[in-house]
Chains A and B, each alone.
Chain A
Amino acid sequence: MTNQQTWIGKSVHRVDAPAKLKGEPVYMTDRPLENPCFGRVLRSRYPHARILRIDTAKASALPGVICVLTHKDVPGLNGFGIVIPDQPVLCFDKVRMMGDALALVAAETPEIAAAALDLIEVDYEPLPIVDDALAAIMPGSPLVHETGNIHLRTVIRRGEVAQAFAEAAVVVDHVYFTPRQAHMFLETEGGVGQLMPNGELHIWCPAQAAFRDRLQVARLLGWDPERIREYSSPSGGAFGGKDELTVQHYLALLALHTGGRPVKIHLSREESTVAGIKRHPFMVQMRTAAAADGTFLAQEAFVVADTGAYASLGGPVLNLAIEHIGGVYRFPSLNVEGYCVYTNNGISGAFRGFGVPQVLVALESNIDEIARRLGRDPLDLRRQNLIQRGDLSAIGNPMTTGVGNQAVLEALENSPTWKERTAKKAAVTDPWKRRGVGIGLCMQGLGLGKGIPDYGAAVIELLPGGKFKVGISIQEIGTGNQTAYAQFAAEALGCDVADVEVIQGDTGYSADAGTVTATRSVFTGGKAIQITAEKMVALLRSTGAESYAAAYAVARERGLETKVRGSFAWPEADEEIPGAFGLPHHIYGYGAQAALVEVDTLTGEVQVLEVASVVDTGKSINPMGVEGQSEGGVAQGVGLALMEDTVVREGRFLNANMSNYIIPTAGDVPKVETFIVEVHEEKGPSGAKGMGEVPIVPTMPAIFGAIYDAVGVQMFRAPATPERVYMAMMGDPSATEDTPALRARIAEGRRAGLAAQLHQTEGEGYAQPKGPEDEEA
């Protein structure tokens, strides 16, 4: 009935472009509202303090205030969190970070709500803080949670590590630090909550996990989830930062007290930065061994991730980082000790790349040094050690699905940035500037991983005239999956993309297809749509009609259901990696980049001139969309490598606004040339895998390698700001953080970490201690 591949693989224009371009109110924070009221959140004044008293009397008495809520107004579980609910909805005994929420206000105007916040009296008893993740592991550190500061410890040992290091010709051992990158999506967290006349609670909020959000809200309300409906698509950017609840819980609580009026919250940029999720800062001490012929022998790492005050996805972030500690290379032996620890530094969680960029910069930088010490070409040395299909990865996972390594490396080798590097480097104009080229290779586990329920589901509804509505809970956060879904549906149904309307992120319309994370949305949605479309094709056949338009008429006449549903479970690895929850993954995306940079030796300023970005997508569903993701990923990678860090000192945020948290502009982002490699994935929809996270991963190591190539210094701390690069070039001792003192602390941290008695925080049994003796009106 259909021509093969009419839509799949075509650069179809974004289906959501016209409405967004015209400024139509498609975003949840733009919805027109009838008789709205306005919500605000009271945030902590201390990064760590006991709460002695919360008095809301004055605030409640302010004219125009509709309600003031505290922990006493949380009817169900006063806790949330994707993996364990260790974050209070509204704090009761103590605050653990600056963004912690203590009270909620709804008022007639935003101004009154703000004034009411000022009238809420809170007495605190400040507590000692821990603002350094390594220090948090040590005995005697202030405790963020009673259960201890180690949220997760993951240790993987494989092969004869000691022997490998003893026999190695080269051993490279360095300590790397990566920053607390902020997502800085343009649309800050916000939305609307409303209790509907039918008794349902509706929440409009840009998000990444509609059904899980609904479950979390149901738990804190003590409600049946079926009574809650979340609309969560599209979002004005997310990148992982809207994976956790953002304001849904506040909207839900307030909406119970506003008499059916819609209540709106929209965070300011500063509140978004202070209270919202960040990329986990990592410290990675990595020791890599190679034989004289260049064969990698062993990899050893001590990894500490700062998850801030609450877990959110800190555990899975650590484990994904550990899974990728050996990158795309064979390592016959491995010894990795990883810690995800609590501090009073805000909160970290999901961010594109999910821990992998943080360890990859260490690995690829170590490999560059091995190449130099062996007198080898860096690309050639990498090629020698690439994982092939059928090999074990560094953590011991048999790589049985499509491995894109080889093809990716070849594309990189043929890219002008790499191939013409000598000429490009020589083309420098100012004598005080130096150019260099560096490379980075990566893979990225797709989907949620071993043992974590991972599935997809979709609905397709036949409409009059033979048009279709496709429902999938996975949201459009900017990546273009709405267009990809329309392409999958049009292909499978044999219709035009224009005949498909894709409804996303609405728990009331389609079944749970999980989250828009882990580069899983094309695979999940594509597969779910293809399976569901088969049922629609069966429906067409059962009517005996020639066309869908006619089939609709027949179906109505016979009273047939015109909405069909389909679902599937993600393929997963056969064997789990012992002691590493969620590991391994089964399907991986691959990527590589070469960066050309120019370093100003007078100022230390690094300008990235061009990046060649190779991505193995499996089948590329929409090449123009892939290029866009590649370009955007590189831009965020440039920010991560050179500019971005949310500076938190003693638990307080120093650059929470866009005026002092600087992200790359059109002047900072290089020209990106994208090379798509299609290593067919048999298990994927039409051979597709996914690629959204991949392009941010190799950028930082490629830039660091290029800086070395240009001026002969290795950067160990990102971002490589002009000051840091300059100090390193000058050989200033302050540029060397890898001192005997640090090594001593690392040794102490390793001992303390292994010796620590870990208390498993029980998700279900998370107890809510009684609140202090609050005085309330």
Chain B
Amino acid sequence: MKVTVAVNGTYYTREVEPRLLLSDFLRHELGLTGTHVGCEHGVCGACTVLVDGQAVRSCLTFAVQMDGAAVTTVEGLTPAEGELHPLQEAFREAHGLQCGFCTAGFLMTLVPYLAEHPNPSEAEIREALSGNICRCTGYQNIVKAVQLAAAKGGGR
């Protein structure tokens, strides 16, 4: 099947199997390997990307469903060569990552969340994070990173 999708601002038209997952499409077809797959079952959130601005688990989404959609991956978050998005910068400052394999999923979950909740409480942040799994950090510094980003203007 044919699919035309804008990924990080670039249009791609591809012939794909109907069963191809969005995660595999991004990673293998487009070589955007910043989106990670941790569980393949919609549990860990590592594969989260934005579809028309909403956080979506790309391991539970078919590539063909994306026809006409705009997808943003972690690679599309970085503003310019060398720079970091404010949320990425907050993760760096707050030590919000260790192995870093879960990080893209957290970032892509949090970007729309912070847009809608510019001043979340700690409990609200933990709630917002509870669909993403991190095996390394114990989440505390991820929470701090979100607080830091929020304090600096909602991470946008």
Measured CB to CB, the residues of A under 8 A from B are: 11, 13-14, 16-18, 20-27, 29-32, 183-188, 234-239, 268-269, 477-480, 624-625, 627-636, 657-659, 663, 665-667, 669, 671-672
**With contact pairs A631-B138, A659-B43 given, residues A21 and B92 touching in the complex (Cβ less than 8 Å):** yes
Q: Is the CB of A478 within 8 A of B99?
A: yes
Tell me, rounded to whole Å, the shortest Cβ–Cβ distance linking A27 to chain B. 7
Of the residues B40, B44, B99, B104, contact of A23 by C-beta under 8 Å: B104
A residues near B102, Cβ cutoff 8 Å: 186
Expressed in whole angstroms, the Cα–Cα distance for A268 and B126 within the complex equals 28
Expressed in whole angstroms, the Cα–Cα distance for A11 and B94 within the complex equals 10
**With contact pairs A480-B98, A631-B137 given, residues A18 and B84 touching in the complex (Cβ less than 8 Å):** yes
Task: Tell yes or no: B53 within 8 A of A by CB.
Answer: no
Given A23-B34, A669-B138, 7 new contacts (CB under 8 A): A20-B97, A27-B101, A236-B99, A236-B101, A237-B101, A633-B138, A663-B133
Q: Report the number of A-B residue pairs with Cβ-Cβ less than 8 Å.
A: 173
**Chain B residue with Cβ nearest A23:** B34
**Chain B residue with Cβ nearest A269:** B39
Q: Is the CB of A23 within 8 A of B73?
A: yes
Of the residues B84, B93, B99, B138, contact of A187 by C-beta under 8 Å: B99
Of the residues A22, A184, A269, A666, contact of B84 by C-beta under 8 Å: A22
Most buried by B among A23, A187, A659, A665: A23
Q: Is the CB of A186 within 8 A of B135?
A: yes
Of the residues B35, B39, B100, B134, contact of A20 by C-beta under 8 Å: B100
Q: Is the CB of B135 within 8 A of A237?
A: yes
A–B pairs, 10, beta carbons within 8 Å: A21-B74, A22-B75, A30-B33, A185-B135, A186-B36, A188-B38, A236-B36, A478-B99, A665-B132, A672-B138
Tell me, rounded to whole Å, the shortest Cβ–Cβ distance linking B75 to chain A. 5
Expressed in whole angstroms, the Cα–Cα distance for A627 and B96 within the complex equals 11
Most buried by B among A17, A188, A663: A17
Q: Is the CB of A667 within 8 A of B130?
A: yes
Q: Is the CB of B99 within 8 A of A13?
A: no
Expressed in whole angstroms, the Cα–Cα distance for A659 and B45 within the complex equals 12
A residues near B44, Cβ cutoff 8 Å: 186, 658
**With contact pairs A269-B40, A631-B137 given, residues A235 and B92 touching in the complex (Cβ less than 8 Å):** no
Expressed in whole angstroms, the Cα–Cα distance for A270 and B84 within the complex equals 35
**With contact pairs A658-B133, A665-B130, A666-B126 given, residues A672 and B99 touching in the complex (Cβ less than 8 Å):** no
**With contact pairs A268-B40, A269-B40 given, residues A25 and B33 touching in the complex (Cβ less than 8 Å):** yes
**Chain A residue with Cβ nearest B134:** A186
B residues near A235, Cβ cutoff 8 Å: 99
Task: Tell yes or no: B141 within 8 A of A by CB.
Answer: yes
Q: Is the CB of B93 within 8 A of A13?
A: yes
Nearest 9 interchain pairs by C-beta: A23-B34, A236-B101, A478-B99, A20-B100, A631-B138, A23-B74, A635-B138, A30-B33, A478-B98
Tell me, rounded to whole Å, the shortest Cβ–Cβ distance linking A242 to chain B. 11
**Chain A residue with Cβ nearest B35:** A23
Most buried by B among A30, A659, A666: A666
Expressed in whole angstroms, the Cα–Cα distance for A621 and B93 within the complex equals 17
Q: Is the CB of B92 within 8 A of A14?
A: yes
Q: Is the CB of B138 within 8 A of A634?
A: yes
Expressed in whole angstroms, the Cα–Cα distance for A659 and B138 within the complex equals 19
Expressed in whole angstroms, the Cα–Cα distance for A16 and B96 within the complex equals 12
Contact bitstring B126-146, A, C-beta under 8 A = 1, else 0:
110111111111111111000
**With contact pairs A13-B93, A14-B97, A186-B99 given, residues A665 and B133 touching in the complex (Cβ less than 8 Å):** yes
Expressed in whole angstroms, the Cα–Cα distance for A483 and B83 within the complex equals 20
Expressed in whole angstroms, the Cα–Cα distance for A18 and B89 within the complex equals 8
